Amino acid sequence: MNGWPRNDVIARSEATWRSLLKTMAQTEQKQGIFSLAYKDFKAGILMENPLLVLAVGLCSALAVSTRFENAIFMGIAATFVLLCSNTLISLIRKQVPDQIRIPIFIVIIASFVTIVDLVMKGYFIAAYERLGVWIPLIVVNCIILGRAEAFAYKNTITRSIADGLGMGAGFTLVLLIMGGIRELFGTGKIVLFDKTILSLGSAFQPAQIFILFPGAFIVFGFLIGFLNIIKERTSNG
Amino acid sequence: MRDNLRIGLTLMIICLVAAGALGVTYVFTKGQIDKQIKIKQDAANIQALPVAKIFKQVNPAQIKKKGIKLVNEQDKIFQGLNGDSNAGYTFVVHPRGYGGIMEVAVGISAEGKVKAVVIILNRETPGLGDQAFKPNFIKQFIGSSPKDKVEVKKDIDAVSGATISSKGLTKGVRTALDYYKKIND
């Protein structure tokens, strides 16, 4: 190890890490844990929205947002997994050895996804069959592993719960908007639990492109644009 | 060494807890999931053989007695009853398609004619392989009896772009017809 100041680098990075944790603890004390948690929750919905701003977990979001009802079930399922994994990982973060944190995250996330999978198979079979492979694929959804690694592993349990709820709500909100727009313009009406809740009338000619994959990208692009306009306005004002 | 032990133990404890939680969930949801599978099976049976009112599963001992060797262990045979009289059989077969094993219910009437073919589960490519499940292809099977060939390129035309799925489905119907022949022997 001559001429290779590895221990030195590690020691220094550990010192930075400790001081970072210390400042974080200090801000928590100063601002109060609940106002911080509220900020984390709010960030997930708009300013750090997982889909529109962080742009993670897009694959499943674009694929399942063909129907409003799909969006509800996918949103609830993902939020449940996110909330549970964030809570548990934050709870055991001091016991988890750094080298094997990723396998442990995956085991925890996969277990919660399997629970969701079994419950949906038993009680919401119609929705389960429509969502198909996307429910088991929540395991590899970047939002969940991303929040585990970037947030829950470093923060207290209260803030991790707030982050999970906020990110889940942000994910669900965007899914609902996309699902609503795509179903409404793609089929002419929105059907929820076999009841038509909104219809454009029989004179409306459905534009099938909204249901197909290009429609997902078009709607998603417009949503990002709108969010950017909102952000610009608020930062200017 | 101590570090390795700690890493291994942590991972083991987490996996054990996860396995326990999953086991508990499995036990609690199993009844409900089985119920859903049964509802699905009943629906497939009625679709495959609409003339029958009730369906009774032929148990493995009876299947063995008839000298039927199941092509796939999960294949199931249901007898359709209309009151007390036999209304035919539905056969749940598992032929191999392009994307894996499919689950198909074939309804054969008491006269020995295929009444309907119902796809219960498939993993074929959407838009390509699943073209073989369109009525235009499936209607070729309707009315065939055990003595027909039921083979692609002979009396069944495969859907272009979905050759393997077509062949799989055809094989499934052929299996059902073979079962039917054995049952009536």
> Structural domain boundaries of chain B?
45-184
Closest chain A residue to B16, measured at CA:
A107
Segment B136-176, tens digit of pLDDT = 899 999 988 888 888 888 888 888 888 999 999 999 999 99
**What are the two backbone dihedrals, phi and then psi, of residue A67, each rounded to the nearest 5 degrees?**
-135, 145
Closest residue in B to A124 (Cα) is B36
Rounded to a whole number of angstroms, the distance from the CA of B18 to the nearest CA of chain A is 6
Structure tokens at B32: 């409900």
Q: How far is CA A92 from CA A25, A99, A155, A193, in A?
A: 18, 15, 11, 39
For residue A114, list chain B residues with Cβ-Cβ distance below 8 A: 22, 25
The answer, as to whether pTM is greater than 0.90, is: no
Residue A167: phi and psi, rounded to 5, are -65, -40
Rg (CA), chain A: 21
Asked if the C-beta of A114 comes within 8 angstroms of chain B's C-beta atoms, the answer is yes
Identity of the residue in A100, A111, A122 whose CB atom sits nearest the CB atom of B36: A122
Q: What percent of chain A has pLDDT over 90?
A: 32
- A109 — pLDDT class (breaks 50, 70, 90): very high
Residue numbers of A between 74 and 93 with CB closer than 8 Å to B? 92
ipTM exceeds 0.85: no
- Separation in Å, CA B157 to CA A113, B138, B152: 43, 10, 6
Tell whether B51 lies on the interface with A, counting CB pairs under 8 A: no
**Average pLDDT of span A202-213:** 82
pLDDT digits (tens, 9 = 90+) for A33-87: 788 888 888 888 888 888 888 888 888 889 888 889 889 999 999 999 999 999 9
Chain B residue numbers with beta carbons less than 8 Å from the beta carbon of A97 are 3, 6-7, 10
Count of H helices and E strands in chain A?
Answer: 9, 2
Q: Say if residue B128's pLDDT is above 60.
A: yes
Rounded CA-CA distance A134/A57 in Å is 11
Q: Between A33 and A9, name the one with better pLDDT.
A: A33
Measured in angstroms, the CA of A85 and the nearest CA of chain B are apart by 12
What pLDDT, on a 0 to 100 scale, did the predictor assign at position A50?
87
Average pLDDT score over chain A: 85
Locate B42 and state its tokens: 């009943």
Contacts of B32 in chain A (CB under 8 A): 122-123
Is residue A1 over pLDDT 50? no
Residue of B120, B99, B143 whose CA lies nearest to B40? B120
Give the distance from CA A110 to its chain's centroid.
16
Confidence (pLDDT) at A78 = 93
Residue pairs between chains A and B whose CB atoms are closer than 8 Å: 47
In this prediction, residues A174-187 reach a mean pLDDT of: 90
Q: Do A114 and B15 touch (CB under 8 A)?
A: no
Q: Which of residues 8-27 of B touch A (CB under 8 A)?
A: 10-11, 14-15, 18, 21-22, 25-26
